[in-house]
Every structure is written in structure tokens, then in C-alpha cells.
């Protein structure tokens, strides 16, 4: 009797959804609250996300969202400069903030006995940060130095996240330098900062998430006590930043005096993650198939077999988190290599692998391998109370559904080989931007 060989579709494993209790609440001033109680360890994570990022910056104010993130740590309604730092650290906690394309986050991780202190700190700066000429000038200098260290004086600084959008996109919100130009930063005024705060830092434009050792009813009472008195302000209307797909390849060459070897970045616009998640998740899995580990397609072909490149990666979004941006977002493929004349050979080799996936689909076990690894990564990240508070807040803000991250493993199980083939077929030469980086100063 012949043995039936399972097809690629029948081999697909079903990954379970993750399980966390989530409690939702909304204050009269519009602040959305997500609670994720977990009494197993005496720690709480507090995250506040504001629906403002690089894309929200007005023309002539590049880098302003990131600059304002710095200002939010310079004192607030009832706290002098550095007091936020002292209160968190003296409680045995840690804190930070970061600016992204579509949001800015602020967060603390504290012993649960300091929970109310953390709420007070976040509510105080939501009420009124200390925007003064002195604080602004000081933080402009800090941001400029950050740009010098991270971009201007570092090999591959800003590559490709600063240079690729300028080629791939057409509109200022999507294409401009989110780190900021020095002239724009220098020209920023306290009045600009006040206007930015009034426009984007309203409670109704924010999500507060608390995860960890809390009682939900008590937490809501404390949140109402500290955030409920903040004046309600109008929530800004978020523009539609979508752009039509490219119809012809775009190319640009940039020079980097610090870089030891050439590099190339390919960028492809992707379908809206909020419109059809299955289609989008196919691109997420495709990126893993292309470059995750030694068994991935591009590593086997470009690094191990052809020896064209020393390193190659494929990832979604600006900073590698595939679900931290709304429409438009992109799939990036970057490669580093020794021969400056090998750029086209590298691009052609990438196209060969994309064509193979589009024509033949995935190999036996390949799709399950990357699915299980992604699901394990999600589960591992949610083990940390800080990540839990940030992720639930992020999914609530961007997609209106904090629990989406819990369903991602099961949703990944629904992505089929046909979805992967279609995702690869969309990555054609006429739908991409190419930025070639050459070592040395421009001639």
C-alpha cells in the first residue's frame, strides 16, 4: 500500500493564541487604558503612547517629534528637571522613551509598591511638561550630538532608515529625515513646542497600559485619580499618509566616508497592514524565510554559495518591528559586500531568490520553521512586563486591538504557501527603490 506524502498545505501546524487577561477602560478626557494584571511577581510596567511620530512633523520642523520626546524628560507641572529620573531610580525602577514613525512612547518598570508613583509621574508630564527656552536649547544640543554620534560619525549611520524613504516615497511625511536637519532643529522655538504639545499630547490621543502586579479595580481608581483631572482637548485628525505603488524602479547612490565597504538597500512598499492582515503577515514570514539564520534563502545563496556578500538581511518597517507602522510601510533588503562593482550582481541574486519563491513556493518545513520561531519570539517578549505594557499599548493605538498580539501565533498559522508566493511575486524591480552606498566622500 502506497504511503500518502503530505502536501505542503497539510503540513501546516496550528499555533495557539497566547493568554493574558486584558481590562479596558476609558476616561472622560478620552484617555484609553489597557490593564494586564499578573500577580506572579511584584513588578509593574507603565507605558504611555502618544499618536504622534516622525510622520506627524510639519515641514520645516524635521526631527521635532524626537526633540519633543527629549523635552518630556525636562521637568513637568509639579517636578523640576531630573526629578522624574530620581523618583524612578530611587524606587528601584528604570525608564525610557523612544520616537517611532507613527507614535512616541514613554515607560517605567517599577516595583509594584511604587505603582502609584509611576502613575503620578506620567500624569504630571501629560498635564504640562516644562517647556522653556533653556530646556529647548539644551535638548537641541543633545539631539544634535546624538545625530553626530549615531549618523554623521558612524559607518552606515542612517543607512538605510534615513536614506531609503527619500527615494521610495514622494510625500514629505513619509520621505523626510525623522532625525532632523540641524537648521530645522536650531530654528525650533518654545512656541513651536507648546503648539506641538497642545496638538498631539492630548489625553484622547494617548493610550496608557499597565501590566504586572496590579488589581484592576484599584488600578482604575488610581488612574482616574491621577489622569482624570487632566483637561480634555480635541484629538487631532490623523491624515491619510498612503501613497500609490511605484510603477518604475528608482535608484540613488550615496557616499559614506566612514564605511569600510559598499552596501545596497532595496525597499518595497507593502499593502496596508490594517487592511488585510493575512496578506501583510505573508510578507512578515517571507522576510524571515529570506534572511533569518544560516538556513535562510539569501544567506544560503548570497553568502554561502555565491559568496557575493558578507551580510544580508530582510525585515519590515523602519526599525525591524513589522507591526509598529501603519500604511505605508515597507520591506527592506540590505546587503554588505567587498567589491564595489558587485552591486548589480547582488541585486540580480536577490531577484533570483524572490522569483524562486514566487514560482515554487516554500520548501518542506520552511514555513513552519519561521512561523514557530516568530511565535516563540512573541511569547518570550511578552514574558517581560515592560515589553508587555509597550506591546499592548502599541497594538491598541495602531490597530484598536491590544489583544491582536495574543492572536498573532494563530494568525501566522493561517498564512499559507500561496500567500507567501503572492507576497514574493509583488516584490518586482519596478516596485522598489534602490540605494547604493559607496565608501568614501562624494566626487
Domain spans of the chain, in order of start: 23-227, 250-439
* Predicted local confidence at residue 11, as pLDDT: 45
* Predicted local confidence at residue 10, as pLDDT: 38
Task: Assign 8 a pLDDT band (cuts: 50, 70, 90).
Answer: very low
Mean pLDDT for the stretch of residues 47-55:
98
* Predicted local confidence at residue 442, as pLDDT: 78
Domains 23-227 and 250-439 share a fold: yes
342: exposed, middle or buried (C-beta count within 10 Å: 0-12, 13-18, 19+)?
A: middle
**CATH architecture, range 23-227:** 2-Layer Sandwich (3.30)
Please tell me whether residue 380 adopts helix, strand or coil conformation.
helix
* Predicted local confidence at residue 134, as pLDDT: 96
* Predicted local confidence at residue 197, as pLDDT: 96
Tens of pLDDT along 354-387?
999 999 999 999 999 999 999 999 999 999 999 9
CB 288 within 8 A of CB 253: no
Q: How far is CA 401 from CA 305, 341, 416, in A?
A: 44, 48, 24
Mean pLDDT for the stretch of residues 282-307:
97
* Window from 14-23, 130-139, 424-433 with minimum mean pLDDT: 14-23
What's the per-residue H, E or C state across 119-134?
A: HHHHHHHHHCECCCHH
Mean pLDDT for the stretch of residues 413-432:
96
Which are the contacts of 269, defined by CB distance < 8 A and separation ≥ 6?
A: 168, 243, 245, 246, 328, 329, 330, 431
Phi and psi of 24, rounded to 5°?
-110, 145
Instruction: Answer yes or no: is pLDDT of 12 > 70.
Output: no
* Predicted local confidence at residue 13, as pLDDT: 61
Q: Residue with C-alpha cell 498559522?
A: 413
Tens of pLDDT along 184-242?
999 999 999 999 999 999 999 999 999 999 999 999 999 999 999 999 999 999 999 99
Task: Assign 271 a pLDDT band (cuts: 50, 70, 90).
Answer: confident
Tens of pLDDT along 378-404?
999 999 999 999 999 999 999 999 999
* Predicted local confidence at residue 241, as pLDDT: 95
Which are the contacts of 260, defined by CB distance < 8 A and separation ≥ 6?
A: 155, 439
Instruction: Answer yes or no: is pLDDT of 76 > 50.
Output: yes
* Predicted local confidence at residue 6, as pLDDT: 36
250-439 under CATH 3.40.50.720, yes or no: no
Mean pLDDT for the stretch of residues 81-108:
96
Task: Assign 3 a pLDDT band (cuts: 50, 70, 90).
Answer: very low
Specify the pTM: 0.94
* Predicted local confidence at residue 441, as pLDDT: 82
Tens of pLDDT along 119-150?
999 999 999 999 999 999 999 999 999 999 99
Tens of pLDDT along 244-259?
989 999 999 999 999 9
Instruction: Answer yes or no: is pLDDT of 1 > 80.
Output: no
What are the beta bridge partners of residue 182? Answer: none
CB 227 within 8 A of CB 201: no
Indicate the average pLDDT of the chain. 94
Mean pLDDT for the stretch of residues 22-38:
98
**Per-residue b or e along 124-163, where b marks 16 or more CB atoms closer than 10 Å to that residue's CB:** bbbbbbbbeeebbeebbeebbeebeeebeeeebbbbbbbb
Mean pLDDT for the stretch of residues 418-439:
97
Closest CA to 129 of 208, 73, 66, 185: 73
* Predicted local confidence at residue 5, as pLDDT: 32
∠ CA 425-429-433, nearest 5°, is: 120
* Window from 9-18, 250-259, 300-309, 395-404 with minimum mean pLDDT: 9-18
Instruction: Answer yes or no: is pLDDT of 7 > 50.
Output: no
Amino acid at each position: 500500500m502506497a504511503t500518502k506524502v503530505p502536501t505542503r498545505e497539510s503540513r501546516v501546524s496550528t499555533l495557539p493564541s497566547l493568554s493574558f487577561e486584558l481590562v479596558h477602560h476609558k476616561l472622560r478626557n478620552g484617555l484609553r487604558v489597557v490593564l494586564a494584571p499578573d500577580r506572579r511577581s511584584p513588578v509593574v510596567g507603565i507605558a504611555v503612547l502618544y499618536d504622534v511620530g516622525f510622520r506627524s512633523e510639519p515641514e520645516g520642523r524635521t526631527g521635532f517629534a524626537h526633540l519633543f520626546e527629549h523635552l518630556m524628560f525636562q521637568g513637568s507641572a509639579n517636578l523640576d528637571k531630573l526629578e522624574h529620573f530620581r523618583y524612578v531610580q530611587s524606587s528601584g525602577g528604570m525608564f525610557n522613551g523612544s520616537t517611532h514613525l507613527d507614535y512616541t512612547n514613554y515607560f517605567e518598570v517599577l516595583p509594584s509598591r511604587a505603582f502609584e508613583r509611576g502613575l503620578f509621574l506620567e500624569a504630571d508630564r501629560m498635564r504640562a511638561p516644562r517647556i522653556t527656552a533653556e530646556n529647548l536649547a539644551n535638548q537641541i544640543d543633545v539631539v544634535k550630538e546624538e545625530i553626530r554620534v549615531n549618523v554623521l560619525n558612524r559607518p552606515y549611520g542612517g543607512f538605510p532608515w534615513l536614506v531609503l524613504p527619500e527615494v521610495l516615497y514622494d510625500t514629505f511625511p513619509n520621505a523626510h529625515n525623522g532625525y532632523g536637519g540641524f537648521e530645522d532643529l536650531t530654528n525650533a522655538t518654545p512656541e513651536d513646542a507648546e503648539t506641538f504639545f497642545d496638538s498631539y499630547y492630548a489625553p484622547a490621543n494617548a493610550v496608557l497600559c499597565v501590566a504586572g502586579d496590579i488589581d484592576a479595580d484599584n488600578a482604575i481608581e488610581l488612574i482616574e485619580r491621577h489622569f482624570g483631572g487632566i483637561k480634555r482637548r480635541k484629538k487631532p485628525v490623523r491624515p491619510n499618509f498612503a501613497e500609490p505603488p511605484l510603477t518604475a524602479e528608482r535608484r540613488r547612490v550615496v557616499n559614506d566616508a566612514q564605511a569600510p565597504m559598499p552596501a545596497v538597500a532595496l525597499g518595497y512598499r507593502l499593502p496596508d497592514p490594517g487592511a488585510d492582515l493575512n496578506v501583510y503577515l505573508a510578507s512578515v514570514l517571507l522576510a524571515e524565510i529570506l534572511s533569518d539564520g544560516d538556513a535562510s534563502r539569501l544567506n544560503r545563496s548570497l553568502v554561502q554559495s555565491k559568496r557575493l556578500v558578507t551580510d544580508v538581511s530582510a525585515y519590515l518597517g523602519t526599525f525591524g518591528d513589522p507591526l509598529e507602522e501603519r500604511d505605508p510601510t515597507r520591506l527592506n533588503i540590505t546587503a554588505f559586500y567587498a567589491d564595489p562593482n558587485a552591486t548589480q550582481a547582488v541585486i540580480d541574486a536577490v531577484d533570483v531568490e524572490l522569483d524562486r519563491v514566487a514560482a515554487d513556493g516554500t520548501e518542506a518545513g520552511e514555513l513552519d520553521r519561521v512561523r514557530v520561531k516568530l511565535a516563540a519570539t512573541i511569547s518570550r517578549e511578552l514574558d517581560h512586563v515592560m515589553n508587555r505594557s509597550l506591546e499592548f499599548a502599541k497594538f491598541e493605538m495602531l490597530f484598536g486591538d491590544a489583544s491582536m498580539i495574543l492572536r498573532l501565533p494563530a494568525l501566522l498559522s493561517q498564512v499559507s504557501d500561496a500567500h507567501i508566493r503572492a507576497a514574493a511575486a509583488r516584490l518586482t524591480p519596478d516596485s522598489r527603490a534602490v540605494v547604493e552606498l559607496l565608501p568614501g566622500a562624494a566626487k
